[in-house]
Amino acid sequence: MPKKPITFVLNGAERAAFADPGQNLLDFLRRGVGDLTPKYGCGQGGCGACTVLLDGEPVLACLTLAEAVEGRRVDTVAGLGGPAPHPLQEAFMAHFAAQCGYCTPGMLMSAKALLDRNPRPTREEVIEAISGNLCRCTGYEPIIAAILSAAASGARP
């Protein structure tokens, strides 16, 4: 089966890799490109662990066709922060918002999508923003507190 070359911008840097026919973006990022930060949870759009930003919008990488990102911008947790952690990552640590940590990359990207367009969200807006991300450890409260705290600190990347 012919593979297709895909050129796109990952976390600000141009990348190119080959995609199999029908390959989803999550598999493509993890196996084709080597970015292991988006996680495979359910493969059917139920859990949000694979959330990445596509041209700034949160999408489920497991339900996005890899070929569809040709020429577009993809952001993952690998691009959050620089030498120091991103303020959202700092807040997640401070509030103990990660226990097993499997949902964390998806949570962080959903939170980033929210704060990028709404820097001072209400608690309800935070809950809505992470409503597509499942967490089986924390009961969500520490995650909500972390996102509100990152927003209150006003720190933007």
Partner 1 sequence: MITAVETYRSAEEAARALGGGGAIYLAGGTLVMAEVNANRTPPRLVRTVDPGLRQIVASSETIRLGAGVTMAQILASRDCAVLHDVARQIGGPQVRSMATVGGNLFARHPYGDLAVALLALGARVALAGQTSLRSLADLLRDRERPALVTQIEVPRPRGDRAFGFVKIARIHPRGASLLSIAAFLPREGSRMRGVRIAYGGMADRPIQAAAVERALEGAVLDEGTIARAVAVAAQGLEPPTDSLASAWYRREVVGVHLRRLLERLSRP
- What residues are paired with 52 via a beta bridge? 59
Q: By CB under 8 A, which span of 30-38, 41-49, 79-87, 142-150 interacts with partner 1? A: 41-49
Cα gap 83→112, rounded to integer Å: 18
Whether 60 contacts 45, CB under 8 Å: yes
Name the token pair of 153.
Answer: 């600190």
Whether 130 contacts 111, CB under 8 Å: yes
Measured between its terminal Cα atoms, the distance across the chain in Å is 42
Q: Is 43 helix (H, G, I), strand (E, B) or coil?
A: coil
Residue choice 128, 139, 141, 156 for contact with partner 1 (CB under 8 A): 128
Residue 129 touching partner 1 (CB under 8 A): yes
Residue choice 133, 138, 147, 148 for contact with partner 1 (CB under 8 A): 133
Binding pattern to partner 1, positions 16-35, x when CB under 8 A?
A: -----xx-x-----------
Nearer to partner 1, 7 or 85 (CB): 7
Cα gap 32→19, rounded to integer Å: 7
Residue choice 127, 137, 149, 155 for contact with partner 1 (CB under 8 A): 127
* Residues making up the chain, counted from first to last: 157
Nearer to partner 1, 94 or 132 (CB): 132
Q: What angle do CA 82, 104, 72 make, to 5 degrees?
A: 60
Residue choice 57, 72, 85, 118 for contact with partner 1 (CB under 8 A): 57
CB 82 → partner 1: shortest distance, Å?
Answer: 26
Amino acid at 71: G
Q: By CB under 8 A, which span of 30-38, 65-73, 95-103, 142-150 interacts with partner 1? A: 65-73
- Please report, as ranges, the residues that interact with partner 1 according to CB under 8 A: 1, 4, 21-22, 24, 43-45, 48, 51, 54, 57-60, 62-65, 67-68, 110, 113-114, 127-129, 131-133
